[in-house]
Amino acid sequence: MFGLIKKYDVHMCSEVKGCILNHGEPVNGARIRRELTYAHSVVEVDETVTDANGHFSMPEILITSKKPGDMFVHDVVLQRITILSNEETYVLWNTKQLGIEPFKEIEEKLLTLNGDLSSQEVRFTFPNKKNPSLEFDGLSICRWENDFEVFELEDDGTQFFSS
């Protein structure tokens, strides 16, 4: 009963930093839009714009909610960050975070959202160090040198699951 009255801190998204390029050249003035949804009902939206060097940043977002105390609520945060440039929309980050606490692995990826608009969107996985049998996954035009594995493209660029 007290769980329904108590308010909890809900981690919606870590700080975000990155750089947007197009064929290796910085993109100035691209709109970066972040949409966060908690428990399929609480929605937070914010935007920023890339500078002359293509860089951007967004602050961490925490909310206070009674929902984690409700036994019928599934603690899931959906994170979607897109780029709008020259009337085209690109997915910079799209994943789900289970629970209301931050994950170091997701924080690390969000601090290096470096994407090139000429790159193809890929579905990828990265390790969950606390629970190795439950990897994280996402969709993005970004690439990371470490802890990043594409799982939905063949070598020729076709989708793995298409017939």
Per-residue pLDDT reduced to its tens digit, 38-64: 988 889 999 999 999 999 999 999 999
Please state, for a pLDDT cut of 90, what percent of the chain lies above it: 71
Cβ-in-10-Å burial (0-12, 13-18, 19+) of 52 comes to: exposed
**Rounded-to-integer distance, Cα 122 and Cα 18, Å:** 18
Per-residue pLDDT reduced to its tens digit, 67-105: 888 888 888 999 999 999 999 999 999 999 998 999 999
